[in-house]
Amino acid sequence: MSRSARRIPTVNLSHYRSGTPEERARFVQVFGDALKEFGFVTVEGHGVEDGLIRRTYSDVERFFQLPESTKTRYAVPERPGQRGFMAFGQEHAKNRKVGDMKEFWHVGRELPVGHPYRDDYGANVWPEEVPSFRDNTLTLYKELDDAATVMLQALADYLGIARNTFSDMTVDGNSVLRLIHYPPLKDRFIPGGVRAAEHEDINFITLLCEGTSGGLELLTRDGEWIPVDTLRGQIVVDSGDMLSRVMNGVIPSTTHRVVNPPSTEQDTVRYSMPFFVHPFSDCVLKPLPQTETPDNPARHPPITADAFLKQRLRELGFLK
């Protein structure tokens, strides 16, 4: 099949939440098969309000149009890459030294005073120049978190294991909403750089609201790069390294990238909002017993989600 003809499957989450038994079974099968084959699947009917996505994008645009001196006031050096603002070019892909041509903001989980993970996760910061930023991003965070919980339950159904196996791992998890600004290359450019070099996500699964322009590509199991285009109202879901460890590679983490605009006419600003679903810090990432076989023995030793996250943040240049 040609590159232009290959497309990741599309499913409707409402069929799992409230559909007929046949619709529910169909969702589970297609959703699981897509993650197994592509590591990516497009989801409609996810329950995240379209107006909320539009309002949040508007807030994100307003923030990134602020002067650099204003934006850098919201950097959180004690938690680099985890909360607040990260400047253009600071993040680079694993095993790569050239920074990605993007800047971004991280919103994390809000936990009550006295919660055991409150100090570990750290506090959010909020830009006073965009008053609606806090409410819109936290509401989007919650709606994406709710949708992710349902998807993880569907994945457990696909594997024939207890429905809450994965979703229990992410209760009070260290999940992050990343708000990304890719400036036009004519405005900011790093020699040898790309918008987002090829990489795998660290976390369990990622929910990506539709970007404001194209450029996202995934690497198929047979080594072919194919575009991942989304329509308004769709969310792209992909599997990450933490899920791959728990699944012992049965569902692998998929390599993907955001390529540079192919022409000056297409060299426009791009915004995107991925939601990285993480387990809670003390969650031990080890292969499920069902995934270990004589032909597929355990590929990695057990490690806590927090230790794995810090290992990867060092590889990305955030931690020393």
- Where is average pLDDT lowest: 48-52, 54-58, 211-215, 286-290? 211-215
pLDDT recorded at residue 298: 86
> Can you list the domains of the chain with their CATH numbers?
10-316 (2.60.120.330)
d(CA 123, CA 112): 11
The arithmetic mean of pLDDT across residues 258-279, rounded, is 91
Q: What is the pLDDT of residues 118-150, one digit of tens each?
A: 999 999 999 999 999 999 999 999 999 999 999
CA 76 to chain centre: 21
For the CA atoms of 199, 181, 238, 312, what is the dihedral angle to 10 degrees?
Answer: 40
Q: What is the pLDDT of residues 29-48, one digit of tens each?
A: 999 999 999 999 999 999 99
pLDDT at 4 over 50: no
pLDDT at 5 over 60: no
**φ, ψ dihedrals at 99, nearest 5°:** -70, 150
d(CA 89, CA 297): 39
- Where is average pLDDT lowest: 23-32, 44-53, 159-168, 203-212? 203-212
Q: What angle do CA 282, 286, 289 make, to 5 degrees?
A: 135
Top-confidence residue, 299 or 92:
299
